[in-house]
Structure 1
Amino acid sequence: MTRKIPTVDFTLALSSNEDERNEFVQQVGDALQDIGFFALVNHGIDTALIMDAYAQCDRFFELEETVKRSYLLPEIAHQRGYTAFGVEHAKDNPAPDLKEFWQTGRAYPNDGPTPSYPQNVWPNQHAPDFRGVIDRLYIDMEKLSKQLLEACSLYLDMPAEWLPGMAEQGNTIMRMIHYPPLEPSMPEGAVRSAAHEDINFITLLVTATADGLEVMDHDGSWIQVNGDEKAIIVDSGDMLQNLTNGLFRSVTHRVVNPKDSTSRRYSMPMFVHPRNEVDLTPHADFVAKTGGTAKYQSIKAGDYLQQRLREIGLI
């Protein structure tokens, strides 16, 4: 029987009981070490805000193609603004993914040095409420991501601020994805999102508006992740796998095409990234815990990101 991804209750993290807080850390770490995915319930993100964000996405993606394309930014590898249908593909899979999306990140500070991450753009003229709603959701999601990174750090016997400190002022991105109805003319082998692993530290996926997400289990079988508006799906990415020498797993997942070709799907993942200068060389402690040999490359986070953006067609 195919198993399900684990469920972790965020109320444990907020408990006044130390044993319950420790249990939260244990459950998060065990899930990421085993299957690399878990469903976070009672996460505290306002459901009404999530629904409002989906409504704003619907309004934007219904705009004329020429209007949406006016927000294309290929010169920054599509790291902000709009990315058109069929541009991105999975690593080692030339068939384009059947999706379009918008990406936003942390707002620029009012003073101090210019950050290394790109500046946000907004469709204010064509979707005047989009910015306010999406920015509020981004802020709440990033706060939650820090708490999850603290749990990961403690599980790894490191200080709580170890991973959050690396992600402070990093190029964390929230992506609003639209999977439109399938066209008969779609390229052969194209799927909504081909099998891939995430690039970053961790991903927080606001539950999609329809099923389709599948996670590969140890034996190569696929675990179906059912849609649940009460859960946020969390997974660990390549950068965290690299840093921990594979102690935390970056697991293959995909979004399959629906049986009903006329249906559409929205999802909103947040990809939590360290700063560009962070060294992802496998840490000696985790090399020792995983056989004594470094299994992954020595590379800075910014270089790793550029490398992967080329591999998936955004550069």
Structure 2
Amino acid sequence: MSAIPSVDLKDFVSGDAARKEKFTAEIGAAFEDIGFVALSGHFLSENLVEQLYAEIKKFFQLPQITKDSYEIEGIGGQRGYTSFGKEHAKGKKEGDLKEFWHFGQYVENNPKLEAEYPDNVKVNELPDFNDVGKETYQMLEKTAKYVLRALALHLELDEMYFDEWIKNGNSILRPIHYPPITSEPKNAVRAAAHGDINLITLLMGAHGKGLQVKNHQGEWVDAIARTDQLMINVGDMLSRLTNNKLKSTIHQVVNPPKELWGTSRYSIPFFMHPVSEMPLNCLDNCIDEDHPKGFEDTTAGEYLHERLIELGLVKK
């Protein structure tokens, strides 16, 4: 059904050393090859997924004037609502054909980060919206933590290498609405070809055609997950850290065939970010004669700021 390998997180958390090793090898190989996997056995319940979709559909159906009241100036779209066509891919002028919402970190025991991160925005019209968003955020963050533990082992690091950097990290849960297309788009697609900024992305809603991944032969292949799976891909931060051993793959969301223009599409990516201080300097064990160091030293915070400027979300 899809060119993307499938893995089951239950193997990693099973307590069985052979199954754990199998998962680590499978996800490591997939991320070195195409940079994407379809993951089952995650921590999101079916009921929670249904609740979240119900809440975000209600939000995007609110009157535009109501949604606009949740668009917060001066924070680069990090929390709350971002209206249709505001964001564009790096190097593109045309805005993507989407509107979206951002839930951010729920900081625990860290006053410095509480002050650094913008507050989450409460939707007054929908009493369950924020609670369901928070629970989803935390279950996806928990899933991402175990995926990164497997990747740490694959990279011959301590299993907990990423734990200290992702605790209270600057991660974002982004419910996206791609509205029905009403006229021939001029050079615009639902999401233009791009690589993600962060460590890894966990995507809900890759169940129908639309998401495409560029393989090593330069071909676009459909990335389709089962309804019980998350699509997970490597972001540019992890690619830098591993000196491109783990591949951040270019992907896009194409417009549907004309007969389906009248339909909305929803997808919900979770962008796993570390804290700003995390160094993204290439790991020593990913550099050798055949793979010289390919990236300058930087931190996650510096790199994020640079990329948000390129996306048009933050002014220089």
With normalisation by structure 2, the TM-score equals: 0.94
Q: Distance in 1 between matches of 2:113 and 2:240?
A: 28
Task: Tell me the CA shift for residue 42 of structure 1.
Answer: 2.4
| 2:90 counterpart residue number | 91
* Mapping of residues 20-99 of structure 1, within 5 Å: 20-99=19-98
- Partner SS state of residue 14, structure 2: coil
1:203 to 201, 204, 214: 201
RMSD of aligned Cα (Å): 1.6
Change (3 A) 1:209 1:85: farther
Q: Distance in 2 between matches of 1:257 and 1:72?
A: 26
| 1:280 counterpart residue number | 280
Task: Tell me the CA shift for residue 209 of structure 1.
Answer: 5.9
CA contact (8 A) 2:7 2:40 kept: yes
Task: Tell me the CA shift for residue 153 of structure 1.
Answer: 0.4
| 2:228 counterpart residue number | 230
| 1:241 counterpart residue number | 239
| 1:129 counterpart residue number | 128
| 2:270 counterpart residue number | 270
Q: Distance in 2 between matches of 1:210 and 1:263?
A: 12
**Structure 2 stretches of 5 or more lacking a match?**
none
**Segments ≥4 residues shifted beyond 4 Å:** none
Q: Distance in 2 between matches of 1:209 and 1:3?
A: 10
Change (3 A) 1:121 1:3: closer
166-175 vs 208-217, which deviates more? 208-217
CA contact (8 A) 2:107 2:168 kept: no
Task: Tell me the CA shift for residue 164 of structure 1.
Answer: 2.5
Change (3 A) 1:139 1:3: closer
293-302 vs 149-158, which deviates more? 293-302
Task: Tell me the CA shift for residue 291 of structure 1.
Answer: 2.4
CA contact (8 A) 1:241 1:249 kept: yes
State the Cα deviation string for residues 175-209 of structure 1 (Å, max 9, x = none): 000000012164x1000000000000000001246
* Mapping of residues 138-149 of structure 1, within 5 Å: 138-149=137-148
Q: 2:250 matched to 1:213?
A: no
Q: Distance in 2 between matches of 1:312 and 1:113?
A: 27
- Partner SS state of residue 90, structure 1: coil
Q: Distance in 2 between matches of 1:23 and 1:221?
A: 29
CA contact (8 A) 1:195 1:254 kept: yes
Task: Tell me the CA shift for residue 169 of structure 1.
Answer: 1.5
- Partner SS state of residue 183, structure 1: coil
- Partner SS state of residue 287, structure 2: helix
* Mapping of residues 151-170 of structure 1, within 5 Å: 151-170=150-169
| 1:181 counterpart residue number | 180
- Partner SS state of residue 22, structure 2: helix
Q: Distance in 2 between matches of 1:255 and 1:227?
A: 14
State the Cα deviation string for residues 85-112 of structure 1 (Å, max 9, x = none): 0000111111110000000112133664
CA contact (8 A) 2:89 2:193 kept: yes
**Structure 1 stretches of 5 or more lacking a match?**
none
CA contact (8 A) 2:2 2:224 kept: no
Q: Distance in 1 between matches of 2:226 and 2:18?
A: 28
Amino acid at match of 1:82: Y
Task: Tell me the CA shift for residue 114 of structure 1.
Answer: 4.1
CA contact (8 A) 1:209 1:267 kept: no
Q: Distance in 2 between matches of 1:51 and 1:239?
A: 31
Task: Tell me the CA shift for residue 227 of structure 1.
Answer: 4.6
CA contact (8 A) 1:278 1:300 kept: yes
Q: Distance in 2 between matches of 1:119 and 1:307?
A: 22
CA contact (8 A) 1:85 1:98 kept: yes
CA contact (8 A) 2:207 2:224 kept: no
Task: Tell me the CA shift for residue 3 of structure 1.
Answer: 6.6
